Amino acid sequence: MGARIRGWGTALPTEIVTNADLEKTLDTSDAWILARTGIRERRIGSSTAELAIAAGRSALAHAGVEADSVDLTILCTTTPDDSVPATSAHVHDALGLGGGAFDLNAACAGFVYGLVTADALLSSGTASRMLLIGAETLSRITDWTDRNTAVLFGDGAGALVLDRTADEGQLLASDLGLDGSARHVLRAPIGGAIQMDGREVFRRAVRAMVDSATRTLQRAKVRPDQVALVVPHQANIRIIQAACDRLGIDRSRAATVLDRTGNTSSASIPLALVDAIHKDRLETGDLVLLTGFGAGMTWGSALIRWHAEGTDQ
């Protein structure tokens, strides 16, 4: 038993905030933001549930399946709309999903944590069809007067429909980890805004992604040069490039959307994956390496063997 990706979808708010817009209110510049992060603009607005619903609806339509055929939903988010109930309850109701649903918070590694969890639940027979969503409204917990963080974050969502399959499935290997002693490095207290030691996050991020990705490849007995596409968490183009260089994977093999989205935490990996699919960067049989890190500090990697339309034709 395993899991197969059957459909995908994304959602972004309509309001675009460019670096030039931020120059008007912050002591910053388009040149600084672009050179230090690779970000040109980000999308702002909506609630986490609204974005998750839109991405989930799109993924269900792409998969060609009914919402009530889903028997378990995971909403990966670090920006729930309320403390209680879980935002997935709103999504479940709005889409008419079947079975249960829960939120998962592993910050920017959240989507990889969600994918590994979904794979385990499908492989064990607990669920036969799952909806996995990463959705965030980081703009709601961003201090728009703090140039250290305001230039980095954005809102968005991405979703996958996953089916149980009789064969080994697409997830070949994974690695999840956490160093909770570093939880002070990046945090947002309840009701407050994101506080971050950017340089420390940067340093830890590269190391965590490289180590986690390396363990994952070793578990699958795959060499870095066999990886067709890396889908990294979209925090900073310099982090992505440094990780690729240390892994020995050509930078051109990294999927990136952060120039248009900024850092969307749990949504960034599915947004980058779907963007790569739309650009015809993936063929059946390709090895795809997802890798992320985030507050906690969490990290997670997953190696997937791509299957073109996802379905069992």
User: By the criterion CB under 6 A, which residues form the site for ligand UT7?
Assistant: 28, 32, 36-37, 108, 147-148, 151, 186, 196, 198-199, 201-202, 205, 235-236, 263, 294
How near is the Cβ of 28 to ligand UT7 at its closest, in Å? 3
Residue 253's alpha-carbon distances to 90, 228, 245, 282, 283, in angstroms, are 37, 6, 11, 11, 14
Our CB check for ligand UT7 shows the closer of 26 and 67 to be 26
What letter does residue 128 receive in the DSSP assignment? S
To ligand UT7, the closest distance from the beta carbon of 61 in angstroms equals 30
* CA angle, residues 15, 17, 23, in degrees to nearest 5: 155
Residue from 62, 233, 236, 307 carrying the catalytic annotation: 233
The two tokens of residue 185 are 């490095």
Q: Least separation, in Å, of the C-beta of 37 and ligand UT7?
A: 5
CA distances from 164 to 10, 125, 135, 146, 160 (A): 22, 8, 23, 45, 13
Shortest spacing between CB 306 and ligand UT7, in angstroms: 25
Instruction: Please indicate whether residue 76 is annotated as part of the active site.
Output: no
Q: Which residues, other chains included, contact 83 with Cβ-Cβ below 8 Å and sequence gap of 6+? A: 190
Q: How far is the CB of 274 from ligand UT7 (least distance, A)?
A: 19
Shorter beta-carbon distance to ligand UT7: residue 73 or 142: 142
Q: 245 vs 121, 169, 225, 276, 304, CA distance in Å?
A: 34, 29, 12, 20, 21
CB contact set of 140 (below 8 Å; sequence gap of 6+): 79
Q: How far is the CB of 151 from ligand UT7 (least distance, A)?
A: 4
The catalytic position among 62, 90, 105, 108 is 108
Q: Alpha-carbon distance 27 to 30, whole Å? A: 11
**Strand order across the 171-178 sheet:** 171-178, 298-305, 287-294, 229-232
Q: Could you say which of 19, 62, 263, 307 is catalytic? A: 263
| Pairwise CA distance, residues 311 & 288, whole Å | 18
d(CA 88, CA 74): 7
- Helical (H) or strand (E) element with 209: helix 198-220
Q: State CA 30 to chain mean position distance.
A: 25
Annotated catalytic, 244? no
Residue number, nearest CB to ligand UT7: 198
**Residue type at 281 in one-letter notation:** R
Specify whether the CB–CB gap between 45 and 153 falls below 8 A. no
The answer to whether 90 is a known catalytic residue is no
Tell me which residues are annotated as active site.
Answer: 108, 233, 263
